[in-house]
Amino acid sequence: MTPRRARAARRHRTVLRREAVLATVPVTLAALLAAAAPATAGTIGSAGAGDPYFPLSGNGGYHVSHYGLTLRYDPAGRHLDGTAVLTARATQRLTRFDLDLMGLEVTGVTVDRTAAAHRRDGQELVVTPNRALQKGQEFRITVTYRGTPKPVTDPDGSPDGWIPTDDGAFVAGQPQGAMTWFPANNHPLDKSSYDFTITVPKGRTAVANGLLVGQHTANGRTTFQWRQSEPMAAYLATATVGKFDVERYTTRDGIQVYNAVDPREASAAAAVLKKLPSVLEWESKLFGPYPFRAAGSIVDRAPNVGYALETQSRPVYDSAPDLSTLVHESAHQWFGDSVALTTWKDIWLNEGFANYTEWLYSEQHGGDSAQKTFDALYARPASDDLWQYPPGDPGSGANLFGTSVYDRGAMALHELRKAVGDPAFFRILRAWAAAHQGGHGTTAQFTSLAERESGKNLDTLFHTWLFQRGKPNRA
């Protein structure tokens, strides 16, 4: 809805038409995980997590419980030195496994402190440990690397990953870019806790996710230590670097806020940033308690980016956000971050929900009603981009951030609200956030939860609004 996201949406030139699939059959998470990590030849971890839109994203054969990332960045030379220590557990016997890493030079890999053979193959870093890992075994991977990180260009044309700015780097990784700055099991199926230790020249600030647990300056450099203790998908990690004004406080609910603002954006951002506590409080009333200990905002000046991202606990903005963008990225903390995707195809569970939250915010703060927003969208002709593909089946990675996912996804929720009534609708949103907090959710799980909570058969409604091709008829 905001120009920033609309710009991203307008980049979509290719629209793949595909048969809509009615996916309201309940699927267990175990079955999904099994499907996502296909059994591969014997003891070799697969090169991807099984996502049809990004077949090489993520890897099979193990889960990462923790990333310890030690980074040093030199903005002038655009040089990154990194050491990544991953704590993982094998989900099968493994003689070989992959990490995702794009660009950069790998200078060493160890598994449980023993040097491991490794080679590069496109975005795969292929690791052969000295001794096979047993199914269920916990192990530690250390990767040292260096070089000039370069963003990846997404199928929609957007830059994604480590994006240099004039004073540092804007770091956002949806859907693929995490692998441009650290070796990762780069798919939202795998959630992990993170520790970041980031060293930058004195005068620059490095902002990551979670709580600031240490900061010290020596020899002209400052090191920032950040801890994200709640599980996080790799794409939601950030390590944004720049010259920032920093503001810290604790909200009435005990959430620790850290705002980092490019001074050139400060006056434009001030009024909106002041509303963060009241926005989080309002969303907590609607969705249940805010899911993280830390919050905040990173307001950068990154004119070549064209979007904001809901980086966990602390969204990153490419310029001073307007209020509805702040509301949107805050809503993602529940929908997308705490409750994560198992497959990119379900992206409407993130964007439809965050967009609908903007409509609700407007409705409850003296602006247009959600019905009015719905009606204005519904008035668009059948030829409009809005109806080019259904939000529950966008068809390809190029369509993830298009108007159907955002706007028709929100329209689907509005139709649900009208069908079940406000009390059941808000009960459904809270139950969804609570039942999947810190974990994952699928479209099929959402639709069956909505039916359970409302006691209504909603097959036709969800089929019409999420999966049917073309402009739906009014109910």
Number of chain positions touching ligand ARG (CB under 6 A): 16
Task: State the nearest-atom distance from the C-beta of 341 to ligand ARG, in Å.
Answer: 11
Task: State the nearest-atom distance from the C-beta of 362 to ligand ARG, in Å.
Answer: 17
Residue type, 340: A
* Owner of token pair 């795998």: 190
Task: State the nearest-atom distance from the C-beta of 329 to ligand ARG, in Å.
Answer: 6
In the range 354-373, which residues lie near Zn ion by CB under 5 A? Answer: 354
Residue of minimal CB distance from ligand ARG? 158
Residues 81 and 72: beta-carbon distance below 8 Å: yes
Q: Which is nearer to Zn ion, 46 or 343 (CB)?
A: 343
Task: State the nearest-atom distance from the C-beta of 18 to ligand ARG, in Å.
Answer: 20
Q: Which is nearer to Zn ion, 129 or 409 (CB)?
A: 409
What is the β-pairing status of strands 205-207 and 240-242? Answer: antiparallel
The site partner of 265 among ligand ARG, Zn ion, none (C-beta below 5 to 8 Å per kind) is: none
Asked if 174 touches ligand ARG (CB under 6 A), the answer is yes
Stretch that binds ligand ARG, among 152-160, 206-214, 426-434, 464-472 (CB under 6 A): 152-160
Q: Within 10 Å of residue 349's Cβ, how many Cβ atoms?
A: 27
Q: Cβ-count burial of 51 within 10 angstroms (0-12 exposed, 13-18 middle, 19+ buried)?
A: buried
Asked if 265 touches ligand ARG (CB under 6 A), the answer is no
Asked if 158 touches ligand ARG (CB under 6 A), the answer is yes
Task: State the nearest-atom distance from the C-beta of 402 to ligand ARG, in Å.
Answer: 10
Compute the half-sphere exposure of residue 159: CA atoms within 13 Å on the CB side of its CA. Answer: 16
Angle CA(416)–CA(417)–CA(421) in degrees, nearest 5? 120
Distance (Å, rounded) from C-alpha 245 to C-alpha 297? 11
Q: Which is nearer to ligand ARG, 189 or 461 (CB)?
A: 189
Task: State the nearest-atom distance from the C-beta of 325 to Zn ion, in Å.
Answer: 9
Helix, strand, coil shares, percent, the chain, to 5: 30, 30, 40
User: Does a cis peptide bond (omega within 30 degrees of 0) precede residue 188?
Assistant: no
In the range 287-346, which residues lie near ligand ARG by CB under 6 A? Answer: 307-310, 328-329, 332
* Out of 401, 432, 465, 467, the residue judged to bind ligand ARG by CB under 6 A: 401
Distance (Å, rounded) from C-alpha 310 to C-alpha 313? 8
User: Cβ contacts of residue 19 below 8 Å, gap of 6+?
Assistant: none
Residue ranges binding ligand ARG (CB under 6 A): 5, 8, 154, 156, 158, 160, 174, 307-310, 328-329, 332, 354, 401
